[in-house]
Structure 1
Amino acid sequence: MISVAEARARILSAFAPLPAETVALSEALGRVLAEPVVARLTQPPFHAAAMDGWAVRSADITAATAESPIPLRRIGESAAGRAFTGSVGPGEAVRIFTGAPLPHGADAVVMQEDCSADDHTVRIGRAVVAGRFIREAGFDFTLGQELLPKGRRLTARDIALSAGGNVPWLSVHRRPRIAVLATGDEIALPGDPLGPSQIVSTNALGLCALVTAQGGIAHNLGVAKDTPESVAALAKGAAGCDLLVTTGGAAHGDYDLVRDVLAERGVALEVQAVAMRPGKAVMFGHAGAVPLLGLPGNPVSTGVTAILFLRPILRLLQGLPPVDARTPLRARLTAPLRANDRREDYLRATLATGPDGVLTVTPFARQDSAITTLYAQADCLIPRPPNADPEPAGALVTVLPLTDGMLSI
């Protein structure tokens, strides 16, 4: 067996970011930029009002107060999309609305709450300095400015910013195509009639959902029977994909055939077992032109190993760092942990905020790799190094949140 770190290094060394493609801005949510987004205009393109009110020359109203307002002649109106085309001279003012261009000659805006007006005159009840309530041209960004860097996964806010920069098309990395193959005579699809020795398949659908949540495109190849012919036939469906992920059949039992089928095809496995719990039965190699990641069959083992190995692959293929530097957190244990054995352990746990505002973590009392209910309830994993000493309640430990995905707002 090899360590988790060594297994991850061997696996990730086989992958590189996928080529770029151009997509419409409306289709770019969750995609990763292959090139920076550069503004195609200046925003705002002119000096603009930041408030509804009156555009004035600040020198005309230096003595204005609520008790002694200064009257100015009303000469026009400037609204968004409909600018005032004249010029503001001494003793004059223009009605202006938020976002509208500032008229030539004016150098400030007085809020409408500080003014009163009739059809011909506006009375200014507050003095303002030059520049008050004005957004200067380029206040947000300027033509040619980099708005978003290469390697950023696009959020809803990024889409809005790109639109504001007048960028209708973006260069992004191609989405990874991941084939998923479940194995086992005992596996039936959800909703199908169950035989006396069968269980419902959960792993393939869970893996496909993880692939989608991480920005990939999942291809569910179905469930292979426990025969070399069935495994080999369905695995052919991975042609053209960037990775084939199998679940089950990776151990050394009489019916664990994925390893045997690979051996018959001359595939040299670079990873065959990992010193971790849950999920020792992880393997990695190449099935022809398509890399293969073999994951265990126990549902929680499948989920945890997918988080540790499949998620970094998906990130790397999309041009992201394999591990999100923001992911590890520190939290205070609410219950003690026993000493660990020689395998790296990943405990399922929940997160909360204590009365003092400190993040707390509570490991589940039961950690069996077949308990899917608790895995679904988990907020995080607590990684424990091999031979780790006991940890008392109140100790700070590292946690890996399970909330990372492509749909950040």
Structure 2
Amino acid sequence: MMPPMPLEEAQARLLALVEALPVEHVDVESAAGRYLAAPLLARRCQPMADMSAMDGYALSPGDIAGPWKVIGESAAGHPFMGTIAKGQAVRISTGALLPASAGAVIVQEDLAREGDHLTLTGDAPTPENKHIRAKGLDFQDGAPLLAVGTLIGPAQIGLAIASGHRHLPVRRLPRLAVIDSGDELSADPEACGDHQIPASNGAMLTALARSVPVDAKRNGPVPDDIDAIVAAFSATQDADVIVTSGGASVGDHDLLRPALEAWGADIDFWRVAIKPGKPLLVATRRQGARKQIVIGLPGNPVSSLVTAYLFLLPVLRALSGASGALARPITARLSQPLQPGSARREFVRGCWDGETVHALSLQDSGALSSLAASNVLIDRPAQAPRAEVGDTVQMFLLQNGGIA
């Protein structure tokens, strides 16, 4: 039997299996949380003309000593259509177009007005165009604004609309099938015998997957029966990714590998040198022109979520066209000592308060209470020495799948 594969090698091998999904165009607001499938180029200037950045008065260039006569007003959406000569001023509001021949704006707090007579009472702007937003200050027509693979959030939506776009190119939503299996699982948490446990993994994994926009469907719990497991796989014909929970180990009732082989899938690799989550399995199956990726996760709930975080989410991001599919680690200092690491690289449940982090005392791979109480996974290298208060550790944020 081959030794377990190092984490980064396993992740790279898994991501190498990903084939890009087709591109579709959606309206800008529907693109939130997805990734650009083509560069975003500006279709207009922003602003389209010189405009005022402040409420005040527009003046001709070099005429900033006064006094002046007010000859009109330029409001946002209602420009002043005339020109300004020396000794004249136009009342102007933030975002209003600068009148023709104007070259300076003085804020209203530095001026006194009586009728149409305006005088300077404060400081003139230095330079005199300080309060003017020049044409194209934000971006020019045709300028590259966002790269392929950019995550589309609120600011990106605003930028896309401001730059003249009603629709954006994105990859089709990944289709995910979630299957949990095991004779011990009860579909009804309110009717669960002593010999059973509620089937929580499927719902947990589906919720995690939806941190990436995804079309997810659940199936299960499926009994420990090869024919039933093969039938569950056969019901996933439209899925791009199939994720299972349970049955990936080597026990007499761990039937995932033979079921996959009976279904016609090819095992790519099995077992990763991490704790929790060692018995992870990855397989592929051709479905017409498409490749389906199967990720077999351990059945223990913590192991299942940790491996889904490290493997399922990156695959969904890669299918969606993300420029970076893997979660990004951050660092923090320990507020409590950390015991020496084990023989495998370990992902320890911890609590981070924004400054320091500490590991939770309960680290059993079946303990959902400590998983729900944690907001980070502390990354402990294999055979790591004891860490003391104040030592720096790397960790992954559980919120949003670790993508800031």
Instruction: Call closer, same or farther: CA 1:84–1:323 in 2, change over 3 Å.
Output: same
Which residue number in structure 2 is paired with residue 203 of structure 1?
A: 201
Offset at residue 71 of structure 1 (A) = 3.3
Gaps of 5+ in 2: none
| 2:335 is the counterpart of 1:338 | no
For residues 112-141 of structure 1, what are the alpha-carbon distances to aligned partners after superposition, in whole Å with 9 as ceiling and x for unaligned? Answer: 122233443333334445313111111111
Offset at residue 97 of structure 1 (A) = 1.0
Offset at residue 387 of structure 1 (A) = 2.8
Offset at residue 380 of structure 1 (A) = 1.4
Offset at residue 203 of structure 1 (A) = 0.7
TM alignment of 1:258-407, pairs within 5 A: 258-289=256-287, 290-320=292-322, 321-324=324-327, 327-353=328-354, 359-405=355-401
Which residue number in structure 2 is paired with residue 112 of structure 1?
A: 108
Letter in 1 for 2:331: R
Letter in 2 for 1:152: T
For residues 203-244 of structure 1, what are the alpha-carbon distances to aligned partners after superposition, in whole Å with 9 as ceiling and x for unaligned? Answer: 101111111112322111232112222212222221121111
Q: Would you say the 8 A contact 1:221–1:235 is kept in 2?
A: no
Q: Would you say the 8 A contact 1:214–1:406 is kept in 2?
A: no
Offset at residue 145 of structure 1 (A) = 0.8
Offset at residue 59 of structure 1 (A) = 3.2
For residues 84-108 of structure 1, what are the alpha-carbon distances to aligned partners after superposition, in whole Å with 9 as ceiling and x for unaligned? Answer: 1111112211111111111112211
* TM-score, normalised by the number of residues in structure 2: 0.91
* TM-score, normalised by the number of residues in structure 1: 0.90
Letter in 1 for 2:367: I
Q: Percent identity?
A: 37
Which residue number in structure 2 is paired with residue 66 of structure 1?
A: none
Q: 2:87 aligns with which of 88, 91, 112?
A: 91
Offset at residue 248 of structure 1 (A) = 0.7
Letter in 1 for 2:212: Q
For residues 47-77 of structure 1, what are the alpha-carbon distances to aligned partners after superposition, in whole Å with 9 as ceiling and x for unaligned? Answer: 1011111111253343xxxxxxx43222111
Aligned length: 394
Runs (4 or more) in structure 1 with deviation over 6 Å come to none
| 2:27 is the counterpart of 1:24 | yes
Offset at residue 405 of structure 1 (A) = 4.3
Letter in 1 for 2:282: F
Offset at residue 27 of structure 1 (A) = 0.4
Letter in 2 for 1:45: M
Letter in 2 for 1:293: I
| 2:170 is the counterpart of 1:172 | yes
Offset at residue 264 of structure 1 (A) = 2.6
Offset at residue 407 of structure 1 (A) = 8.9
For residues 354-397 of structure 1, what are the alpha-carbon distances to aligned partners after superposition, in whole Å with 9 as ceiling and x for unaligned? Answer: xxxxx322111221011101111212112223333333333222
Offset at residue 406 of structure 1 (A) = 9.3
Secondary structure at the aligned position of 2:227 is classed as helix
TM alignment of 1:180-199, pairs within 5 A: 180-199=178-197
Give me the whole-angstrom Cα distance separating, in 2, the residues matched to 1:122 and 1:157.
40
TM alignment of 1:182-261, pairs within 5 A: 182-261=180-259
Instruction: Call closer, same or farther: CA 1:52–1:406 in 2, change over 3 Å.
Output: farther
Give me the whole-angstrom Cα distance separating, in 2, the residues matched to 1:32 and 1:382.
28
Gaps of 5+ in 1: 63-69, 354-358
Give me the whole-angstrom Cα distance separating, in 2, the residues matched to 1:107 and 1:133.
10
Give me the whole-angstrom Cα distance separating, in 2, the residues matched to 1:120 and 1:345.
75
Letter in 1 for 2:149: G
Give me the whole-angstrom Cα distance separating, in 2, the residues matched to 1:406 and 1:38.
28
Choose 2-11 or 366-375, whichever is displaced more: 2-11
Give me the whole-angstrom Cα distance separating, in 1, the residues matched to 2:69 and 2:340.
83
Q: Would you say the 8 A contact 2:341–2:380 is kept in 1?
A: yes
TM alignment of 1:30-69, pairs within 5 A: 30-62=33-65
